[in-house]
Amino acid sequence: MNVPTVAIAGVPDPLPAGLHILDVREQVEWDHGHIEGALHIPLSQLGERFEEVPTEQTLVVCKVGGRSAQATAYLAHQGRDVVNLDGGMLDWEAAGRPMVSETGQPPLVV
């Protein structure tokens, strides 16, 4: 199955209303910097937390795009409307897109 994928240049800024973000990175990565309003479900928990994934269009992100591609393939196979962000949070950060942090420090991708 081809994984639906978009590069950061193809992601509108600001994000359109109704577009959901699913971050499949680990907790420590999330804590250091993530997209505000994103849903956090680590890839290892995706199967058991599948029902939490929105049925509406969802952009799936990780650090570089590998884990999110796996998640996107799985979710698309389950009938979800998902797109993988190629380049992940590293490209998001490099493009100067807004992030928030849970650490009390400026957000960054780790």
Q: What is the CATH number of the domain that holds 57?
A: 3.40.250.10
Residue 102 lies in a domain: no
Number of folded domains that form the chain: 1
* 25 domain residue, yes or no: yes
3-state helix, strand, coil in the chain (%, to 5): 30, 20, 50
Domain that holds residue 78: 5-94
| Residue 105 resides in a domain | no
70-80 per-position pLDDT tens digit: 999 999 999 99
Give me the pLDDT at residue 79, please: 96
- Spatial distance between the Cα atoms of 77 and 65, rounded to a whole number of angstroms: 18
Any domain includes 50: yes
pLDDT in tens, 43-57: 999 999 999 999 999
Q: What is the pLDDT of residue 27?
A: 98
With respect to residue 108, please indicate whether it lies within any of the assigned structural domains.
Answer: no
- Can you give the pLDDT at residue 2? 84
Which residues of the chain register pLDDT less than 50?
none
- In the prediction, which pLDDT does 1 show? 65
